[in-house]
Structure 1
């Protein structure tokens, strides 16, 4: 595919799972950026039926934000290039990398089961990796996957998927969820600071575009 000379390099969105035990297992760079991204923000206020007068505008924290996207994964380009992994497995590895964000690690599950069976430890639910939604340099957000739907649309002769649409629902995790000193909490705060700067730029631009008063 040709591009115009001097055209800006396209930044690709991504979903990244930060797992110290296996840093490369859950890194999925979008093959094609989604055409649309839906965000919903719900304010977190202290207002309720029994709130004292004068407290209605107080905020408990940042808004609860959800993000929904549909991404496409297609093996066509890799198959044309003769990529051996794609020829043998289709897009199964890419789908698995996304799905593993929802699975506890098998080694930990087995180890906990063995130790619990001999009475050494009590079973503690394992933690999911810190998941980041990357959408350009200004938006690197810690998220939790809340919905995950895969529609496999085409297969190779060995029934490996070669075309799929993945619908992802995510809840943004903020510093109140993760703690400000944590990696995720710090990333969210950096995101909020960038948003504050963007809002200031917008306000300054809006004020400068106002018509001047007569005689001004």
Structure 2
């Protein structure tokens, strides 16, 4: 019988580099709009430095305040992989600090997305390795286990599966299913073109077309009252 709760699934299916890079330069907000504004993880998980996330999820599930399996995940992950760590939202102990971050950077991993805390903030905030986390605390973690690698995890209210595409910037993080990525990219490009046209009109002093606003107000029977 499988040892549920203490397992490592070593083989995952990653999206192609071409598919992932199709999102390069796209804003999380624009991508999220094209997903009916339902794809962002909770805003409590924020960018630690100014580096953006883009890559496949390499998931890790650990008990509250314990990082034993994170060591193993860094060892086994491939360049470009983003370690998506379900730390149960624990705010009492840091799961990642300077040592693990610099090790991950030396292995050219794609970054950390942590539903939990980091420490050594002053150093991590200056690193080139993208790091998103829920908070920070000087308290260190336990290293006892158990835990699981490459299973579905919960991050900021969203389910993330191994191989999902993670896109994160200053606004937050979007989770994308690889099988939906190609169609989604086309929708994002179309929306970007429409928004660029709108911005161009604003820059030329032509303002915004608010006909749709007045139509909505009329439908809701909004009153306009003058003295």
Same fold (TM over 0.5): no
Larger radius of gyration: 1
User: With CA pairs under 8 Å and 6+ residues apart, which has the higher RCO, 1 or 2?
Assistant: 2
User: What is the TM-score of this pair, normalised by structure 2?
Assistant: 0.23
User: What is the TM-score of this pair, normalised by structure 1?
Assistant: 0.24
